[in-house]
Amino acid sequence: MKADRRTFLKGAAATTGVFALGAPAVLGQAKPKVVVIGGGPGGATAAKYIARDAKGALEVVLVEPLKEFVTCFHSNLYLGGFKTFEEITHTYDKLPGYGVTLAHQMASAIDRDKKQVRLADGVTLSYDRLVVSPGIDLKYDSVPGWGKEHEETMPHAWKPGAQTKLLKAKLDAVPDGGVIVMIAPDNPYRCPPGPYERVSMMAHVLKTAGKTKAKIVIIDPKKTFSKQGVFQEGWEKHFPGMVEWLAPDIHSGLKGVDPKTNTVETGFETYKNCALVNVIPKQTAGKIALDAGLANESGFCPIKPETMQSAKDDNIYVLGDATIAGDMPKSAFSANSQAKVAALMVRGELTKSPTFPARYANTCWSLITTDDTIKVGGSYAAKDGKISAIDTFVSKAGESAALRKENQVENMGWYSGITNDMLG
Amino acid sequence: MSERGARPKTLVALGLGLAGLILFPAEASAADPAYGEYLSSECVSCHRRDGQDKGIPPIVGWPPEQFIAVLQSYKTKDRKNEVMQTITGRLSDDDMAALAAFYGSLKPAP
């Protein structure tokens, strides 16, 4: 153990005081070490499962700068007034009980040769296996006229926290007759149905406030989007005339935005003095994964579908939105599912515990308005060199109100289940 | 059903015997408790492991025969829920036995 880690790892189990760098420990020496970067659905789940199931045989450190985790999933329900901010905010307090040591620091660099992670405060952690689950970073240069300095004026709210609250405040202030423009992102991006559930929640808030003359315009670089048929059916049914989705062949491309005047210009039309502009830019894997050379030219990280190991480093596992996960979407459900495969494989490597073939699953529920929830999902496995869909489903047009209401009960139940699975 | 109900015990014993000696092969035996627990990791994303009902039915502590019968009814699409139909679609009889044995061994949190 490095001297500077002594004070840092206050919660760590007592050890012999010296950690071997590199090779897994052998009998009589220190425990093998696992470092997990990122406390979201991928990282928190992986840390909990590895520590819990290793029953003290491994040292597990979770590196996450924030002490409170605000879920990106269901942040749209906060926007729509279906949940409070407190209800989507969680702590990591239960994880030490499973043997996870919390390091509330930013991970600033990974040294793959030395198998070390450097934290922002200068502390260095060595690892036998590293799990990298950093989520996404935003490409602030992907929308002409918009940048980080404009995120207060034209919020993205694609990372949870202050931006989520800001978008809610701006939405609540939209006057009747006001125009909201959403700049939707191109693939691949976090939460494929997310922009369209968000539009639904915006329309729900406006309609509930009696502002039915307000309008939401979606400028989309994609020709189609997730659950498109049932979203559009829902918008027509619940919010007639309030939502306008423009495919690229209609708007002829986004020319740019002007945050000073809240203007959005496309090849088709210019929207001036918008009541709210929500810019959801392009995304990449979190910076630390890029800096460590774990991503390819796409900006996301290739993985081995059998294990979730990085395709570039067998000692590193990459999870969640940062990965190229084949047919799996970038969702909390996917990250949580991938984390369990990685946890199994990490324990298998370091403690020789049994391993089984990787299996993955995903479901994404989206709320359109009160008691009208749609869903999409699938089962996945390693096949043809990627994570391939085995079976998939999506809600259908014309489904009964009773089924849609059941879906919403399920949606709320899932939230309770996954947050308990990650952090409870 | 009685045949299915009896199968887990034999294989649990076999699984425990092997576990101490060798790394498990990729094809897991039916009611290996570690395999059942691994499969259950797919369930607990929605069905809380502590057995609390927050909108999705608790599944801990069920008799294995009933557990398997319900899974089968989703696999055959007699019961209507697309999530469960998709999840059970790839569960073999052995997978179901392992899951049923694992969940049957859990008790709801007080």
User: How close B34 gets to chain A, by Cα (Å)?
Assistant: 8
What one-letter code names the amino acid at A153? T
Tell me the chain B residues in contact with residue A357 when contact means C-beta distances shorter than 8 Å: 26
The radius of gyration of chain B's CA atoms, rounded to the nearest angstrom, is 14
Sheet order of strands, A359-369 included: A359-369, A372-383, A386-394
Q: Domains, chain A, ranges and CATH?
A: 3-137+284-356 (3.50.50.60), 145-281 (3.50.50.60)
CA-to-CA distance for A234 and A238, rounded, in angstroms?
6
Least confident of A119-128, A212-221, B98-107: B98-107
CA-to-CA distance for A200 and A59, rounded, in angstroms?
44
Residue A29 has pLDDT above 80, yes or no: no
A410/B83 Cβ within 8 A: yes
- Minimal Cβ distance to B42: which of A49, A361, A395: A361
CA-to-CA distance for A145 and B36, rounded, in angstroms?
53
User: How close B57 gets to chain A, by Cα (Å)?
Assistant: 9
CA-to-CA distance for A52 and B46, rounded, in angstroms?
19
Q: Domains, chain B, ranges and CATH?
A: 2-19+30-105 (1.10.760.10)
Q: What is the pLDDT of residue B4?
A: 37
pLDDT in tens, B30-57: 577 789 999 999 999 999 999 999 999 9
The model carries a pTM of 0.89
Give the residue carrying structure tokens 């789940």.
A45
The radius of gyration of chain A's CA atoms, rounded to the nearest angstrom, is 22
Q: Does A418 touch chain B (CB under 8 A)?
A: yes
Contact A204, A168 (CB under 8 A): no
CA-to-CA distance for A92 and A137, rounded, in angstroms?
22
Least confident of A62-76, A305-319, B95-109: B95-109
Tell me the chain B residues in contact with residue A420 when contact means C-beta distances shorter than 8 Å: 48-50, 52
What average pLDDT does the segment A47-63 reach? 98
Q: Does A315 touch chain B (CB under 8 A)?
A: no
A116: closest CA among A17, A2, A7? A2
- Minimal Cβ distance to B83: which of A355, A359, A377: A377
Q: Does A317 touch chain B (CB under 8 A)?
A: no
Q: What is the pLDDT of residue A141?
A: 97
B34/A412 Cβ within 8 A: no
CA-to-CA distance for A385 and A369, rounded, in angstroms?
40
DSSP code, position A117: E
Q: What is the pLDDT of residue B108?
A: 79
- Minimal Cβ distance to A418: which of B45, B83, B87: B45
A361/B86 Cβ within 8 A: yes
Give A47's contacts (C-beta < 8 A, 6+ positions apart).
Answer: A34, A36, A39, A60, A61, A62, A95, A100, A131
Q: Does B2 touch chain A (CB under 8 A)?
A: no
pLDDT in tens, A157-192: 999 999 999 999 999 999 999 999 999 999 999 999
**Pairing outcome for strands A270-271 and A263-266:** antiparallel
Q: Does A30 touch chain B (CB under 8 A)?
A: no
B8 in helix, strand or coil? Answer: helix
Q: What is the pLDDT of residue A199?
A: 98
Give the residue carrying structure tokens 């639904």.
A200
B38/A421 Cβ within 8 A: no
B90/A355 Cβ within 8 A: no
B86/A417 Cβ within 8 A: no
* Residues comprising chain B, all counted: 110
B28/A337 Cβ within 8 A: no
DSSP code, position A303: B
> CA angle at residue A414 from A412 to A418, to 5 degrees?
125
pLDDT in tens, B45-88: 999 999 999 999 999 999 999 999 999 999 999 999 999 999 99
The pair of three-digit structure tokens given for residue A84, joined into one six-digit string: 């409070």
Interface ipTM: 0.88
